[in-house]
Amino acid sequence: MKLNLFNDVPDGLTRRARSFVRAHGVKVGVRPVEGYRQWWLERGIPAAVIDRMASYQERWGGLLLPPASQYDGGPKYLDPDLPESDSAGWWFEAGMQRTAVPYSFMISPSGEFGIHADRWAPLHATIGGWVESLALAYHASMWAKQVTKVVGDDVDGIELDGYEPVREVMGLADTWWRGPDSLVALYCGEAESLGFPKGRIALIYTGLDEWGLRGGVEAGDS
């Protein structure tokens, strides 16, 4: 597998995420979607779906980032594959798994990024939100004085009064919250997709100053 620096950072990301991708992202060689277009058309895949996949690949294809703290690291690298349909519309794989997890990483008909197993769990409103969450997790782990992991029903005891949602991650099943000196990451995707409420996980990053809380990202920079 040939690797190169990922220099063409997609637009629309915060400064924190752009810096993260430049510093830690590499480009994996991938096969162009266009090479499969005719084969997919002959099997009933609509041209508009193939166009969506091609656009996704042009923007994100081949991006390999450090492993996520959850979901067994997340997709190994981003690249579309395996279009399929159901009553909601057409889906495609967002990237292959790093390990043998019991779900696939998918892009929904409405563009959400999430995991699909027994049921669909949208993690972020876009794949960009996933990248933002990786960047924020890396930043927070570098600057926090302490990281606390909370699992299962104990997640309900986390007090978020006075916290604000971190908008740039565009969280759905997974969300980030910013307090006066701490960040809280809530991971509920596996619990929702696998029907296992005790699988919820929270990571609490405490002892953060203003730089640790935002990493150069201003309140409106999202």
Q: Average pLDDT per run of 10 along the chain, which is 222 residues long? A: 66 93 93 95 96 96 96 97 94 95 97 95 98 97 97 96 96 98 98 94 97 78 55
pLDDT score recorded for residue 19: 93
CB 124 within 8 A of CB 170: yes
d(CA 174, CA 71): 11
What percent of the chain has pLDDT above 70? 95
pLDDT score recorded for residue 11: 85
3-state SS, residue 18? helix
pLDDT score recorded for residue 3: 54
Those residues with Cβ within 8 angstroms of residue 172's Cβ, 6 or more apart along the chain or in another chain: 112, 114, 122, 123, 124, 125
CA angle 205, 141, 57 (to 5 degrees): 115
Report the b/e string of 53-64 with b at 16+ CB within 10 A.
Answer: bbebbeebbbbb
Sheet strands (E) in 41-195: 63-64, 81-86, 89-95, 104-107, 113-116, 120-124, 146-151, 164-165, 174-178, 182-187
Sheet containing strand 3-5, strands side by side: 3-5, 26-28, 63-64
The model's pTM is 0.94
Express each pLDDT in 44-81 by its tens digit.
Answer: 999 999 999 999 999 999 999 999 999 999 999 999 99
Express each pLDDT in 154-174 by its tens digit.
Answer: 999 999 999 999 999 999 999
- Name the DSSP class of 78: B
pLDDT score recorded for residue 118: 80
pLDDT score recorded for residue 84: 94
pLDDT score recorded for residue 47: 98
d(CA 54, CA 48): 10
Domain boundaries, the chain: 3-128, 131-214
Tokens standing for 198?
Answer: 């005790």
CB 140 within 8 A of CB 212: yes
